[in-house]
Structure 1
């Protein structure tokens, strides 16, 4: 059918055309000259578009054919894997764990995809047979490293035990003949004479091990290895005597690898255990005596032997807490530079510790209190100020305001007086008078399970009497009370409170009885709730 305009004589360039056919009603064109196109051109354009769409669809189908086939028909993928495995087996490419291209890996992949078919299992049996054959061929050609690998593969694939044992016996026999047992023994003896017991493949013990791997019943090698191990244990004893416990532990461990049943090994282990315990006790004594650097070094020696040593890890945590506590004591004596050094040491040992944070706040509080004192205050004015502060402290104590309100408590007034005149006799007497009340405060709050207030009383106690050894026992008692309350609240399902109680107890006394068990309970409860 031709275009209606072809028969209209009135049409001329630039003339206006009114549409007269119903099938054109409602159409709008940006350019009237493009409103129509010949049917042949339209068919050509539609044909090209159809061809382009077909090509794109074909490319997509080709691109995703394998993936789609694997999804719809997984047995197709398994068949492909079995075919590739058979091809690898045919050329002797039995295993390639690095890229999965070996016959073993391909058969195992096929079995994982399609475990109900026996073809892959039968293929793995053929791989085991081929590995046995490769081992025999390697032995015949004196390629013993290859023979060991092939035999290991055959055994991993459950080759018949009798056949694999026969190949192993043949390999040992021929390898021994090829290696020259007498030569190996002579080299081992020379290495032992030179003191090279276990320093590399050419030292005595590795050479004896090679001989015994080839001839397990060779008496000469067995006896020589036993004597060499005894020499090595003597080196371990010398290391223990010299305090080199980590070296001694490594040597004892090496002896156990060579011969776990060596006659002298139990005594060496007992000696090492006693040396480790002596080291632990020495570190504990250093900690109790305030020799914190020595204690830290001692606990680190223990961790060099066993990085999971729980007692050593707990000791290091106690060292961190001791540094924090000493920082508070030094700040109380207005030795701020030393206090800051202790805080840095504590932070390095126990970053994020609650005890370290508390100590830092105490040090800063005392520093601010001292900074408010005029450095050039005349002596008479200073004395008057001290007397006023002590009087205010006594009035606050009479009201029972030992620790609160902040800044106006008896404790704060007394600390301010100490900041002004730390060596003043009246100030020292006031501190001595306050100490029993602070102790009673601790006992009362502890008895009433007001643990945070008990902690505040204990802090004040430590500030007023930094050298009072009774504060150590008080810290331990408070830690145990935190554990008891935490256990009770944990039983009620309050995991967050239990975690806070654990942190408080650990900051007070990392070695408190029951702390480890409580920590395990909290960890388990917290883990199950996440």
Structure 2
């Protein structure tokens, strides 16, 4: 409505009807946004900026991905560009490059995109011919390394074999002409006469090898090399006669490196193998007799010739474990100096037998426990007067005699004759009464071992064996007893393994290994246990 159309009511009073503003009336009539026109005109400008940003991003994306999209949508365009770049590289002499910009790499990339087009294949053929030409030019200018490199490229790209072989022959001839081969031969002959066979670039064999590299059929070089190798093998024979197998093996290996087909090599190699086997036999025997240091020396001499000889590695492992077991036995008898010495030997051997580490660690723990036990005994002993110590020793001797009469030589622990004598020895190591009681107890310990082994009571047999060691049994007898008990443990372990008792089999293996690391059948049994463990 218009405000001029307002009606009047009564004198002096005018009724004002409600009206709509013209702009809102227009909006109401049209049904558009009811906000004032000025408010709509002042809407934020970010809408326009957002649209412009989207357009800009689209342009950037098109610029960045234009080439990959073109390659995917029109691969022939990309292939054509690669061929053009390859032609340019070929015209500039850039036949190959590690960064892919060489003619070869560009043609190969084009061929990968269009395998059926012949242009790229023809281009690679041109690269091959150009490589052959560059090889020839490099040869003419004395750049032999470049010539060989280009010749290799030409061969790889399928240049005719006859052309490549002809150029290779020319290259070899040029090198030969340039090389002072005659002077090399003179120097090699002089070195051979002086006995300088190898070890430096001016020795006979390296010089002969240099001659034969450029003139493979040069008679003087072939004959000189044969004579030099014969002289080297003669030195190897001298070393073998002197029982210096490591030096002999090194000489034979050098000779084989210069000419593996030399006529005298098989005899020298066979003799070295025979002497090595004899040394292995001596090492086995030394280990079996308990001569651990000798066994270690022999096994190491085998390794000096045959670095990867498995038997030598296993032999050294057995030596290290035996030395660790010896340290444990010495520690149990409180002979700590001897235990430390045995442990030091075991650590030395373990440098070539790292698998002995667990056995050495166990021996170290046993030594520590023995020291603690000795300290406790010394604490008790230190509080005793001489009279009290004498009474204590006498009481232990009477206990040992009573246990012996009862037949309790080793059991029960702490009440056996053996334990009583060991405690008495700790208090009075030089007491003659203890020595006599020990001598009297020794035959009983031997009988104990035989009875236990006969009854297949292997743990008791082991305790009887330990008693014999402490009581001073004959070393040869003890070695035989350890070997027999170890064999029995292997047999029991095999039975347990066959019954599927893997834990018992492993325990039997460790018992046998502790008793005699070199006993026959131990390694085979260990492999069976390892295989069964892996299967589970």
How far is 1:255 from its partner?
Answer: 0.8
How does 1:46-57 map onto structure 2 within 5 Å?
46=47, 48=49
Q: Distance in 2 between matches of 1:421 and 1:65?
A: 99
Q: Is the 8 A contact 1:95 1:105 kept in 2?
A: yes
SS where residue 308 of structure 2 aligns?
coil
Moved more, 42-51 or 57-66: 57-66
1:496-515 C-alpha deviation (Å, 9 max, x unpaired): 55555444433333322223
Q: Distance in 2 between matches of 1:404 and 1:69?
A: 93
Q: Is 1:514 matched up with 2:518?
A: no
1:334-373 C-alpha deviation (Å, 9 max, x unpaired): 4322322322332443465454355445545554454314
Residue 175 of structure 1: aligned partner? 175
TM-score (norm 2): 0.71
Residue 426 of structure 1: aligned partner? 433
Residue 479 of structure 1: aligned partner? 486
Larger Rg: 2
Q: Is the 8 A contact 2:154 2:164 kept in 1?
A: yes
Distance 1:109 1:50, change over 3 A: same
Q: Is 1:384 matched up with 2:391?
A: yes
How does 1:110-509 map onto structure 2 within 5 Å?
135-150=135-150, 165-240=165-240, 244-277=244-277, 279-280=279-280, 292-293=292-293, 295-328=295-328, 330-331=330-331, 334-350=334-350, 353=357, 355-360=359-364, 362-364=366-368, 366-371=370-375, 372-373=377-378, 374-375=381-382, 377-378=384-385, 380-396=387-403, 403=410, 405-439=412-446, 441-443=448-450, 451-452=458-459, 454-465=461-472, 467-491=474-498, 498-509=505-516
SS where residue 387 of structure 1 aligns?
helix
Gaps of 5+ in 2: 1-20, 22-32
SS where residue 191 of structure 2 aligns?
helix
Residue 46 of structure 2: aligned partner? 45
How far is 1:416 from its partner?
Answer: 0.9
Q: Distance in 1 between matches of 2:462 and 2:474?
A: 18
How far is 1:149 from its partner?
Answer: 4.6
How far is 1:198 from its partner?
Answer: 1.6
Q: Is the 8 A contact 1:329 1:466 kept in 2?
A: no
Q: Distance in 2 between matches of 1:493 and 1:87?
A: 74
SS where residue 209 of structure 2 aligns?
helix
Residue 10 of structure 2: aligned partner? none
How far is 1:256 from its partner?
Answer: 0.9
Q: Is the 8 A contact 1:84 1:106 kept in 2?
A: no
How far is 1:226 from its partner?
Answer: 0.7
Number of equivalences: 489
Q: Is the 8 A contact 2:86 2:102 kept in 1?
A: no
Q: Is the 8 A contact 1:369 1:416 kept in 2?
A: no
Q: Distance in 2 between matches of 1:40 and 1:413?
A: 114
Q: Distance in 2 between matches of 1:109 and 1:298?
A: 62
Distance 1:165 1:334, change over 3 A: same
How far is 1:124 from its partner?
Answer: 12
Q: Distance in 1 between matches of 2:94 and 2:143?
A: 16
Q: Is the 8 A contact 2:197 2:203 kept in 1?
A: yes
Distance 1:69 1:149, change over 3 A: same
Gaps of 5+ in 1: 1-6, 8-22, 24-36
How far is 1:253 from its partner?
Answer: 0.9
How far is 1:315 from its partner?
Answer: 2.8
TM-score (norm 1): 0.71
Q: Distance in 2 between matches of 1:263 and 1:439?
A: 60
1:264-286 C-alpha deviation (Å, 9 max, x unpaired): 22232234334434554565566
